[in-house]
Amino acid sequence: MKKKLVTILLALTMAVVSLAGCTSEKSGANSVDEAIQNAEPKAGPDGYTYTGTAPITTAGGTIKILAQNSNYSFVDIGNAPIVQKVFEEAGVSSEWQLFSYDNYETEAGPLISSAKGDA
């Protein structure tokens, strides 16, 4: 009889706990989305206000990218038309530093961990 009572109490507790998450209140994910949507654009140090659309800057600039060559394709990603269009619309240029697929860690690792250079 005690086992049945304990089992029923545990089952009821589990049911109540599982239903506790079923509320109509908004959770953290929704409030973050709302905060992003309701955010007011602010001007940066140069006076430019980024509104979420291209260009991302009026001052231009260069984005430096460390990447590895593909081991199965001969596509030059830096010169791919879609990549060029993204950078053009963003108002920045790109500077690619490509490493061989097989040696990426040994070539790029020291550069990244040394914190030398702009990349």
Q: Is 66 domain-assigned?
A: yes
Mapping DSSP onto H, E and C, the string for the chain reads CHHHHHHHHHHHHHHHHHHHCCCCCCCHHHHHHHHHHHCCCCECCCCCECCCCCCCCCCCCEEEEEEECCCCCCCCHHHCHHHHHHHHHHCCEEEEEEECCCCHHHHHHHHHHHCCCCC
Low-confidence ranges of the chain (pLDDT < 50): 119
Q: Is 106 domain-assigned?
A: yes
Instruction: Compute the distance between CA of residue 11 and CA of residue 47 in angstroms, rounded to an integer.
Output: 61
Q: Is 81 domain-assigned?
A: yes
Domain that holds residue 73: 54-114
Going 43 to 28 to 37 to 35, the CA torsion angle's sign is: negative
Q: Is 29 domain-assigned?
A: no
Q: Is the pTM of this model over 0.75?
A: no
Number of domains comprising the chain: 1
